[in-house]
Chain A
Amino acid sequence: MSIRFHVSKNKYFPRDTFSILSAQSIGPDNNFYFLFNSPIVLGEILPERIVINKEIEKFKWERNFLENIQKRRENLINLLKNNGFNVKNFQSICPWHLIIGLGGVHPQETSMTLHHIYGIPYIPGSAVKGVTKHWAVLKFAEQKMNKDNKSFEDAVEQISSDLEKGNELDLEIGNIKFGELIKIFGTQKHQGKVYFIDAYPVSDINLKIDIMNPHYPDYYSGKQPPADWQNPKPVEFLTVEKTTFRFYLISQDNSLLQKSEVLLKEALEKFGIGAKTSLGYGIFKI
């Protein structure tokens, strides 16, 4: 299906480009990155406010396009397999909303991480590794809290610091030793032995507009106390909904690889990835 890009509500392009854009519909053969980065600019003469273009919720990628990306990915993975790397992969659906890169720079002030070539929502490998490491820290901190009778906050800080510096600790959870965490994630001096690869969507990508609704906008702006007479101003942002992603982990150490997979699956299922995990966003079904 094709959607019409509302150029009449965004004239902020060079003159000749605007002429071209005004003259045509923009459909699935156009890069979503461009659509997402062309929000609606309100104000007749001078710009007054910039809001998300809700039409983009209807955008659908051609299946052939997604399949070709997938194929290219698998070719890369096979190359790595043929060169001595072990690969673990699994796919998983986020049954509700997922938002990666909400705080990124954007004129509408809410954003999403899109692939810089394909223009599709994806989960960067750095985010995958980050959430796995964070989950591991929480688990080991809980054990340290119980063992040393510390507060949880102190334990988290201590575990994070020791993991960062590569200090061995005599802790083990579910067949995973703390020393193995150091090898998996690495330190400033030693590269981690497990690579966390970007996760791409493997089925249809479903977009959904969501809102956050701060009830005390004047308080957050620093002017007024949080009082109930203020008018909430809903902020709309884009999420990915009911979409399946495939995750890859690769390493030359098969034992560490298996343990990383266990940690990643737990993190995705029990903690979530991306923004607003404390509100239930980004939880995956394992």
Chain B
Amino acid sequence: MPDRESLITKLEKGRAEFAYRCVKEVVDENSSNKELLKNYRAYSRKIPQMILSNGLGQTLAFVKSKAKNGNAYELLYSQMMDYLRSDSTARIKMPDNIELVEWVISLDSQNYRYVTEEILAFLNWVKRFAEGLIETEEESEE
């Protein structure tokens, strides 16, 4: 009960906190890899747009097909998966033994829309923190 109450009172059910930890971890572990950080920031803006025009299923198919060798797509894909298994998305918990993209297309429309909204809300915070924590080339020149 104390955990549930504190979860409810957190900013957007703990979504913001979860997103911050994700971005902070990426930045801390890859501080010397400028290319990856730049891509991570760019993709966190691009993926929500793709979800809106092509749907979550196809967007995850795209991200999964691009995820390789620990690149920015792979980081975002695994973070979306972790978020859907976290307590912040208590209504539908993602199962442990299934691939994210396979799970999403096994859902019916109503649950698919719920998951879409959750991912969009999560990426909205990821985008904000990525823009705040990751400098662009122009910014670092100032």
Contact = CB atoms under 8 A, between A and B. Distances in A.
Contacts of B54: 37-38, 106-107
A18 B57 CA distance: 11
A14 B105 contact: yes
A281 B59 CA distance: 29
Nearest to A17: B109
Contact of B101 (A12, A49, A105, A107): A12
B108 interface: yes
Most chain B beta carbons < 10 A, residue from A12, A13, A15: A12
Contact of B46 (A12, A14, A105): A105
Most chain B beta carbons < 10 A, residue from A48, A49, A107: A107
Contacts of B135: none
Contact of A47 (B50, B53, B64, B112): B64
A47 B109 contact: no
Interface residues of A, number: 22
Nearest to A41: B61
A15 B64 CA distance: 19
10 closest pairs, A vs B, by CB? Answer: A12-B57, A14-B112, A107-B62, A47-B61, A47-B65, A105-B49, A12-B58, A14-B109, A12-B61, A37-B54
Interface residues of B, number: 25
A43 interface: yes
Contacts of B61: 12, 41, 47, 50, 107
A107 B59 contact: yes
Given A47-B61, A50-B61, A107-B58, A16 B53 contact: no
A105 B53 contact: yes
Interface string B46-75: 100110011101111110110000000000
B50 A105 contact: yes
B15 to A, nearest CB: 23
Most chain A beta carbons < 10 A, residue from B53, B59, B111: B53
B60 A12 contact: yes
A38 B58 contact: yes
Given A38-B54, A41-B58, A107-B62, 20 more contacts: A10-B58, A12-B55, A12-B60, A13-B57, A13-B105, A14-B57, A14-B107, A14-B108, A14-B112, A17-B112, A37-B54, A37-B55, A39-B58, A41-B61, A46-B64, A46-B102, A47-B61, A47-B62, A50-B62, A106-B53
Contacts of B111: 14
A49 B57 contact: no
A14 B112 CA distance: 6
Contacts of B58: 10, 12-13, 37-39, 41, 50, 107
A105 B46 CA distance: 7
